[in-house]
Structure 1
Amino acid sequence: MKVPFLDLKAQYDAIAQEVEECMKEVLGRCAFSGGPFVERFEDEFASFCRSKHAVGVGSGTEALWLALLGIGVQAGDEVITSPNSFIATAEAISLCGASPVFVDVEEGSFTMNPALLEGAITPRTRAIIPVHLFGQMADMDGILAVARRYNIAVLEDACQAHGAEYKGRRAGSLGNAGCFSFYPGKNLGAYGEAGCVVTSDSQLADRIRMLRDHGQSRKY
């Protein structure tokens, strides 16, 4: 017997009736973009991550990109991240016109090595993006200590760490913001592309909401 590593059909079959009823409700209310269902999800996911705000976006890549823009990353800046990640992490940095700078991983955890972090910082460093992988979080104490010393923002790439914890705190809640993907094959997958940024910084959350909607703070 061959058991697939990832069987989306089996996952769907187990909750098909519930999913279809929810889809009918959304379609029946013509809530095709944003609206009460997205807001309800944002409230629940923020609570799940133990953060004050969650902003739903189109993908994990978009979550990283908008979070970077939200903290002010721009052309000419440098952003330190891990080489052991999907290309979207570095891609989001490049979309801002900034340059990714890679810090190698720890052998045991495959996540960013804080001992190597300080040596990668330059006057152009604007942010650090540790990547949590396989449901396992990076050494956030070590990373945050360096970031605070140099007054550098930390954005957590938690696209593969939904619900992971570090010393009692949930992934996404330790840095300035946390970025999640709900691609079907992720730890928490959706039926399609989706992403989210969580943060307890109300001003940052407002900026990201505007950035996801062409600069609008409310519907025209």
Structure 2
Amino acid sequence: MKVPFLDLSLQHRALREPALAALTATYDATRFCLGKDVEDFERNFGATLGYPRVLGMNSGTAPLHVACMIAGFGPGDEVITSPFTFISSAWGINYVGAKPVFADIDEGTFNLDPAKVAAAITPRTKGIIVVHLFGQPARMDEIMAIARQHNLFVIEDCAQAVGASHLSASGSATPVGLIGDAGTFSFYPTKNLGGCGEGGAFVSRREEIQTRARHVRVHGSDRRYYHDIVGGNFRMDGFQGALLNVKLPHLAGWTARRRAIAGRYLSEIKLGDVRLPEQPAYGKSVFHQFTIRHPRRDALREHLTKQEVGTDLIYPVPLHLQKCYANLGRGPGSYPVAERAAANCVSLPIFPELTDAQVDQVIRAVNSF
């Protein structure tokens, strides 16, 4: 039995008729840039997931860029983020002329280690970009305490964590993105809520930040042809808004299925030396990925391929070892936990359309290594 790592055609085939009907309506009404479809999605996304204000944008990178602009980061400033993430988590820092500074990650969750964040702070530090990697919320109580102590602007990269919540020490649950000063989402096709192209969203618990982001999104303008601040073109297109409106009602079911598959992996994978992802009590993962670690990762992956189980190596090169960041002078050994993760991680199939039989096959294949 073949088990693909990901098969987007299954989801899109099931939604083909309503998706094409939505696209046709948008096409016929010529609602191509922002407009009703995007406004409907913003309202529905907020109501479904608990966000008071939502701005649709044209990619997952765009809201990160916008957040760095609004934070006022610029030349001479340092912004701390993770070295074990997709590179767009750091791009916004570079786009505004600031310097990315990496802090190592936690062994069990792959997210920023608050102690390492605190150690990376200098007089030039102006903010932190926290990544909720693979759908698992980061340790926000500790990170926010550090940020308040040093008056830092906190951006939450929620690209892989749509639908996830963080449970504070007081016991209250807050959707990711509303804990820091700004939250960003991606609707790239492979995400838990994916469009048919690029898309993203910006949220904030602070109304003044959301208002400024709305102006930045459309050329720094609140009225046509009047530009109060320097902005950009970060508008979501109507087709993506229409498609995401079709998909959004299915997100809760898709998330439940991801969690069910992860639950089976967590309880039934018994391979010696394997390290399964940790599930801390402060946050419930939405399992964008199910990433395991093994000292013989490459041999394990070859074994799974022979068993017709698809896998992927997600982030095999940490950001500080990418050529584009060679000027930062951080060579091998700078962030050992991130480097170990990059060297021994492999991600297993965990998309909602997997059948129980396919899940069985993944578990058997891993355990038989």
Q: Is the 8 A contact 2:83 2:104 kept in 1?
A: yes
Tell me what 2:164 maps to: 164
Q: Are 2:119 and 1:114 equivalent residues in the alignment?
A: no
Tell me what 1:204 maps to: 209
Q: 1:36-185 maps to which residues of 2 (within 5 A)?
A: 36-167=36-167, 168-185=173-190
- Runs of 4+ deviating beyond 6 Å: none
For residue 217 of structure 1, give the secondary structure of its aligned residue in structure 2.
strand
Identity %: 45
Tell me what 1:15 maps to: 15
* Greater gyration radius: 2
Q: Distance in 1 between matches of 2:115 and 2:193?
A: 31
For residue 41 of structure 2, give the secondary structure of its aligned residue in structure 1.
helix
Per-residue CA distance 1:55-93 (angstroms, 9 max, x = gap): 111111111000110121122211110111001111121
Q: Is the 8 A contact 1:79 1:101 kept in 2?
A: yes
Output the amino acid matched with 1:126.
K
Q: Is the 8 A contact 2:188 2:195 kept in 1?
A: yes
Between Structure 1 and Structure 2, which shows a larger proportion of helix residues? 2
Output the amino acid matched with 2:37.
F
Q: Is the 8 A contact 1:137 1:164 kept in 2?
A: yes
Q: 1:188-203 maps to which residues of 2 (within 5 A)?
A: 188-203=193-208
Per-residue CA distance 1:145-185 (angstroms, 9 max, x = gap): 10011111111001011111111221111111111000001
Q: Distance in 1 between matches of 2:80 and 2:20?
A: 42
CA positional deviation for 1:49: 3.7
Number of residue pairs matched?
Answer: 220
For residue 117 of structure 1, give the secondary structure of its aligned residue in structure 2.
helix
Q: Distance in 1 between matches of 2:81 and 2:33?
A: 32
Q: Distance in 1 between matches of 2:48 and 2:112?
A: 25
Output the amino acid matched with 2:207.
S
Q: Is the 8 A contact 2:26 2:32 kept in 1?
A: yes
For residue 190 of structure 1, give the secondary structure of its aligned residue in structure 2.
coil
Q: Is the 8 A contact 1:63 1:195 kept in 2?
A: yes
Output the amino acid matched with 1:204.
I
Q: Is the 8 A contact 2:179 2:205 kept in 1?
A: no
Q: Is the 8 A contact 2:135 2:164 kept in 1?
A: yes
Q: Distance in 2 between matches of 1:204 and 1:19?
A: 33
For residue 31 of structure 1, give the secondary structure of its aligned residue in structure 2.
coil
Q: Distance in 1 between matches of 2:224 and 2:25?
A: 22
Normalization by structure 1: what TM-score? 0.96
Unaligned segments of structure 2, at least 5 residues: 168-172, 226-369
Per-residue CA distance 1:29-59 (angstroms, 9 max, x = gap): 1100011111111112223342221111111
For residue 188 of structure 1, give the secondary structure of its aligned residue in structure 2.
coil
CA positional deviation for 1:5: 1.6
Q: Is the 8 A contact 1:49 1:198 kept in 2?
A: no
Q: Distance in 2 between matches of 1:139 and 1:98?
A: 25
Q: Distance in 1 between matches of 2:70 and 2:52?
A: 16
RMSD value over aligned CA atoms? 1.2
Tell me what 1:25 maps to: 25
Q: Distance in 1 between matches of 2:72 and 2:125?
A: 12
Q: Is the 8 A contact 1:105 1:111 kept in 2?
A: yes
Q: More displaced, 42-51 or 28-37? A: 42-51
For residue 133 of structure 2, give the secondary structure of its aligned residue in structure 1.
coil
